[in-house]
Structures are given as C-alpha cells and as structure tokens.
Amino acid sequence: MVKKQILGEESTRKIGRMIREFMDVIEANNDDYAFIKGEIYSENNFICLDFEGSDIDGRKKNLEMLYDPENNSLSYSKRFSMINEDEAISAIVKFVSRIERFNPPVSKMRFDNSLGYGYAQITPSTSDPGCVNMLVVSKKVRDAEGREISLD
C-alpha cells in the first residue's frame, strides 16, 4: 500500500517544469483568464481539467475543460475556450502521457500555478485503490485550522 510521501527536491522540480510547460500552452491559448490553480483527473473516459482563473478585472472563476480522447475534441464551461484547440489538445495529450508514466499511478493531480512549484506530496487515493493523488504547490498547504490540505 502506498503511504503519504513528500517528494524530493529534484522530483518536485521536474514535475513543476512539466506543469509549467503544460500551463504555458494553455495560457497562451486563452486571452480571457490567468490560471491560478488547476486539477487534472480522468472520469467517464474523459480527461477533466478544472481551473481557477482570474479575469482581467480580478474576478475569480471556476473553469472546466474536458478532453475526449475518443473524438480528439475539447468542450468547455461557459465563456471559456482555447484559441488554438489543436495546440491545447497536443499539450493535454503530452501532459497526460507524462503523468501516466508515474509509479504508483496518479489518479488526480492538483497544482497551484501562482507561486511556482517547491513542494509536492502524494497521498493514497480513496477513490482509486493502488493509485495516488498528487499535490504540487509552492509550499505546504494548510487550512485555517493549520491542518494539511488533503486531496480526497
């Protein structure tokens, strides 16, 4: 059984670089939002990408994008789309293929895109036995009571 682990500095740096490359493509293909946080996971044969974005006026919005591998297509939440869908799809496929190489398998990845990536941890997934959830942020994240934030 997989236990909660904090990843080493080099692993965190590599994963952070991988996320940054992915998010650079997503941000370059959307003129309406700056992306603050993100989450990627698979559900019902779709790759789900949930983002917290900020519009030009600083209003935060929850944005969703679904990639359908069977039809090689994207769908979006309201008022959100990609300028070049082919580039976005290519970035998603590359990102997912890199995540799929992780051992143990990653069920869900959350990341904070605002301050860089200096801390990464994995925790056992409660929804996918044998898999882990991964959190990649600038530093250890705690809630208002000081407890570490969990992914499940």
The position carrying tokens 């190489």 is 101
What pLDDT is attached to residue 131?
Answer: 86
Global pTM? Answer: 0.84
The residue extents of the domains of the chain are 5-137
User: Mean pLDDT per 10-residue run, the chain (152 residues)?
Assistant: 80 89 93 89 93 90 94 89 94 94 89 78 86 79 57 42
The vertex-70 CA angle with 95 and 38, nearest 5°, equals: 35
What pLDDT is attached to residue 135?
Answer: 84
What pLDDT is attached to residue 149?
Answer: 56
What pLDDT is attached to residue 151?
Answer: 44
Sign (positive or negative) of CA dihedral 148, 133, 118, 10:
positive
Tokens of 84: 């070049």
Q: Where are the alpha helices (DSSP H) in 29-121?
A: 85-99
